[in-house]
Structure 1
Amino acid sequence: MAGCKINFVGVFVLQMIFLTLFWSHDVESYGLKVGFYEKSCPRAEMIVSKVIKDVMAVAPSLSGPLLRMNFHDCFIRGCDGSVLLDSPTRQSEKYSPPNLSLRGFNIIDKVKTALETACPGVVSCADILALVARDVTAETKGPYWEVETGRRDGKVSLFNDPIDPVNGLPPFFADITALKQSFALRGLSVKDLVVLSGGHTIGMSHCSSFENRLYNFTGKGDTDPTMDPNYIAKLKLKCKPQDQLTIVELDPGSFKTFDDSYYKLVNKRRGLLESDAALLNDPETRAYMVQATSYGSTFFKDFGVSMVKMARIGVLTGSQGEVRKVCSKTN
């Protein structure tokens, strides 16, 4: 038995090394660069920006979902636009439980239509997701960063791609160990983890994602002792047991503005999700959360840097994949 255990550990370590190498390749050699469409579609970024500016003027609550869509895409199969693909049998990523709460697919379609009118068959849907994430952040008073482009679109999207801390999206109940492992496998640091979590400043969540913290944390009808009891009382007024429909702001009172108040709330034990609260359980993430709300905070700059790093995960470039004509289906 001891020999088998050593074998298993060895295989696991090799798997970790392989996955880390796969996700964190040298982006320079894979064709991503700022201004990739400078000659083939010179107005591409202006077109995306104009559509998003118009959308944010009438529907600012879509900023969070559109930013989150980029994250959900990159953490499954890499940043290849696979989260956008439809399936007549509902067997693509879009229909897996973690993605059912995503909104704004019609906005991505709107951007794609505008780009196809200007430059048919040139700008990938994967690049659209990266550009839209930057533009919704900027439009909600957040940072602006230069987006590397040149991604190609993937042709595969699977409902049952693993949804776990190792191979897929880290779940909302992930602890700090699982979160750090999930990010590390994709070439992202602990700092990237806590910085990108700051995107929850413009997010929303369904009551079902944190209901157990309010009503049945350990299976005994109790509440999560790590959460501010006054916050729990307020949440119970909005979320009744087994409520599947109601959505709650991750950053109450400020969810339409990209700012540092998410960190202030988590520091006060008012992080809505267990994965938010988990950031208090690591010295490095906890220290950054204090720094992000202090004078001289580097959060805005750091967020752009981490978004660029995330957008390099598992990209397809060159002759790989395709450039979809319609984002919801392959050519």
Structure 2
Amino acid sequence: MKLLVIFIVHAICIPCFSFDVPGKDLPLTLDYYKSTCPTVFDVVKKEMECMVKEDPRNAAILIRLHFHDCFVQGCDGSVLLDETETFQGEKKASPNINSLKGYKIVDRIKNIIESECPVVVSCADLLTISARDATMLVGGPYWDVPVGRKDSKTAGYEFATSNIPTPEEGLISIISKFHNQGLSVEDMVALSGAHTIGKAQCRNFRSRIYGDFHLTSALNPVSETYLASLREICPASSGEGGSNVTAMDNVTPDLFDNSIYHTLMRGEGLLNSDQEMYTSMFGIQTRRIVSKYGGSGGFNFFEQFSKSMVKMGNILNSESFVDGEVRRSCRFVNT
């Protein structure tokens, strides 16, 4: 009941941001499905409401799935393709295997849309819209989603392995990976703020809590208590508890807000990749941005997150507009 109240309250006061599609040559528009499938946004919103009320973590799962899609070949639904005897997908790449979820949620939405508008709405668009609604439903901002993407017939296993930042990666390397996608340092810090919801596996934060956590949190007694609780969840031995999970934001784990930046400023970031934005010797610019997003009641964060999500969603696979399709099933190319 308490969770439902949170949803209702934030549905009333969620900031709404609207942006023009950057680049006049992009084949995306806000009204792409106006005549061919006018109900698509309503269907996605309704289903996401059900999924998030069932488990708030589903919001983080869909946002992350969208992120991993866009960083490999662009936002083309390639991450959704199943592996077959003759086709190597992205699901078994090291950043995705035993980590990415949400495929069944996308399947559910796709099945409903297919019954209303057969072979009209791409899986890439459904995933992009779902990520926006997921954000909004846990208290985050709303933004207009340009649509008209096509689904790729290919996948990029190697690119999934090399393009996607890892939880233990250093700041300079992560900045480089975002830059390679046309995303700025400001975009990187804003998009990383999605970690204000969701959970991380022990294997992804073990080195952090048995490494420099003490140093970044300055031996604060409260931080020491938090660290002790993390070590109960995640044993030091690499052979134990690797799949155990805990919230990345230990203050408001089910609410999309700017709490994650307060966590970083206290030196209590769960993931090394996040904490580096504030404490790395190379993080002069990122430290300033983290502090900015931690203030202003979260408005600066919400505004930039919305812009950055649109920008990321506009990373396109140009080949998919030549040789792509609208899949009937998000798991397989059409036959």
Tell me the TM-score normalised to structure 2 length: 0.84
Q: How do 1:164-243 residues align onto structure 2 when only pairs under 5 Å count? A: 164=162, 168-215=163-210, 217=211, 225-227=215-217, 229=219, 230=224, 231-240=226-235, 241-242=237-238, 243=241
Deviation at 1:264, TM superposition (A): 0.5
1:323 aligns with 2:326: yes
Q: Which residue of 2 aligns with 1:300?
A: 302
Aligned to 1:279: 277
Which of residues 17, 20, 28 is equivalent to 1:32? 28
Partner of 2:157, secondary structure, is coil
Q: Does structure 2 retain, via aligned residues, the 8 Å contact 1:82–1:155?
A: yes
Give the drift of 1:223: 6.3
Q: Is the 8 A contact 1:127 1:151 kept in 2?
A: yes
Residue identity in the other structure for 1:226: T
User: Could you tell me how far apart the structure 1 residues matched to 2:296 and 2:303 are?
Assistant: 14
CA 1:91–1:275 in structure 2 vs 1: closer, same or farther (change >3 Å)?
same
Shift of 1:102: 1.1
Equivalents in 1 of 2:160, 2:43: separation in Å? 35
Indicate yes or no: 2:117 matched with 1:119: yes
Structure 1 range deviating more: 154-163 or 174-183: 154-163
Q: 2:143 aligns with which of 142, 145, 170?
A: 145
Mark the runs of 5 or more structure 1 residues left unpaired by the alignment: 1-25
Aligned in 2, Cα 1:131/1:228: closer, same or farther, shift over 3 Å? Answer: farther
Matched, 1:92 2:82: no
User: Which has the larger displacement, 173-182 or 293-302?
Assistant: 293-302
Contact 1:92–1:158 (8 Å) recurs in 2 = yes
Q: Distance in 2 between matches of 1:227 and 1:70?
A: 32
Given that residues 213 and 224 in structure 1 are in contact (C-alpha distance below 8 angstroms), is that contact kept between their aligned partners in structure 2?
no
Query: How many percent of aligned residue pairs carry the same amino acid?
Result: 37
Secondary structure at the aligned position of 2:38 is classed as: coil
- Which residue does the alignment assign to 1:265? 263
Q: Does 1:244 align with 2:242?
A: yes
Separation (CA, whole Å) in 1 of partners of 2:128 and 2:330: 14
For 2:144 and 2:161, the matched residues in 1 are separated by: 30
Q: Deviations over 1:3-42 (max 9, x none)?
A: xxxxxxxxxxxxxxxxxxxxxxx74313111121111111
Provide the residue aligned with 2:253 in structure 1.
Answer: 255
Letter in 2 for 1:181: S
Q: 1:202-231 deviations in whole A, cap 9, x for unaligned?
A: 12110001112233x4xxxx8663356514
Distance change >3 Å, CA 127–CA 27, structure 1 → 2: farther
> Match of 2:216, SS?
coil
Asked if 1 retains the 8 angstrom alpha-carbon contact of 2:216 and 2:268, the reply is: no
User: In structure 2, the residue corresponding to 1:329 is in which secondary structure?
Assistant: coil
Contact 1:228 1:270 in 2 (8 A): no
Q: Is the 8 A contact 2:73 2:156 kept in 1?
A: no
Instruction: Label 1:162 to 1:134 Cα distance change in 2 as closer, same or farther (>3 A).
Output: closer
Instruction: Name the structure 2 match of 1:16.
Output: none
Query: 1:70 — aligned with what?
Result: 66
Amino acid at match of 1:330: V
TM-aligned CA deviation for residue 159 of structure 1:
3.0
Deviation at residue 106 of structure 1 after TM alignment: 0.4
Q: Secondary structure at the match of 1:255?
A: coil
Partner Cα distance (1:319, 1:158) in 2: 17
Looking at structure 1, the residues matched to 164 and 84 of structure 2 have their Cα atoms a distance apart, in angstroms, of 23
Distance 1:149 1:119 in 2: 15
**Match for 2:45 among 42, 46, 49?**
49
- Structure 2, unaligned runs of 5 or more: 1-21
Q: How many angstroms apart in 2 are the aligned matches of 1:299 and 1:95?
A: 33
Match of 2:107 in 1: 109
Match of 2:9 in 1: none
Supply the RMSD in Å over aligned alpha carbons.
2.0
User: Structure 1 length as normaliser, TM-score?
Assistant: 0.85
The SS at the match of 1:40 is coil
Give the stretch that moved more between structures: 34-43 or 153-162: 153-162
Matched-pair contact (CA < 8 Å) for 2:40–2:113: yes
- Distance in 1 (alpha carbons) for counterparts of 2:42 and 2:25: 27
AA at the equivalent of 2:216: T
Residue 57 of structure 1 aligns to which amino acid in structure 2? K
Map Cα deviations across residues 43-68 of structure 1 (whole Å, 9 max, x no partner).
Answer: 11111111101111212111111110
Counterpart contact for 1:86–1:328, Cα < 8 Å: yes
